[in-house]
Amino acid sequence: MNRAIKFATSMTATIAAVLVVAAGMPRWVGEACAASSPPPPISFSEDVQPLLQFRCGSCHTPGGEGYAKSGFEVSSYESVMKGTKFGQVIIPGNPDESSLMRLLDWRVSAEIQMPHGKKQLSICDRDLIRTWIFKGAKNN
């Protein structure tokens, strides 16, 4: 048997052993994790705004190309909630209907996907914004 097959066989045995041990764990072990405190709420000022500023600020602040075309500015809560010259981009409580999420999820034509001409925000970053919107898009 070559080395790769021996390694795969030993890894399969190791994984099987871990699963057997995990299956025998007392029920309360999982419950302890579930009973831990919930994560803190997403904060606009500490979580969302720094992300928007970092990924969108070069275009969506006065003087930037995105700001000139859309009027959308990410420098403050008020400016984000104001939206664009075309209308509101965030509908508190409804990320699926919020234009910002459609733009960030690339559920729009390629010409207006955000960030324009750059790498898409990670799923984690988009989910952070989505959750903030879902929870009411509060200024916290």
Q: What is the pLDDT of residues 56-89, one digit of tens each?
A: 999 999 999 999 999 999 999 999 999 999 999 9
Give a yes or no: residue 89 inside a domain. yes
Q: Apex CA 131: angle with CA 87 and CA 127, to 5°?
A: 95
User: What range does the domain containing 98 cover?
Assistant: 44-134
Q: Are residues 20 and 52 in the same domain?
A: no
**What does the pLDDT read at residue 39?**
75
For the chain, helix, strand, coil in percent to 5 are 55, 0, 45
Q: Are residues 18 and 57 in the same domain?
A: no
Q: Are residues 59 and 14 in the same domain?
A: no
Q: Are residues 61 and 28 in the same domain?
A: no
Q: Are residues 102 and 61 in the same domain?
A: yes
String of b and e for 72-109 (b: at least 16 CB within 10 Å)?
bbbeebebbebbbeeeebbbeeebeebbbbbbbbeeee
Regarding pTM above 0.75, the answer is no
Could you give the number of structural domains in the chain?
A: 2
Q: How far is CA 26 from the centre of its chain?
A: 34
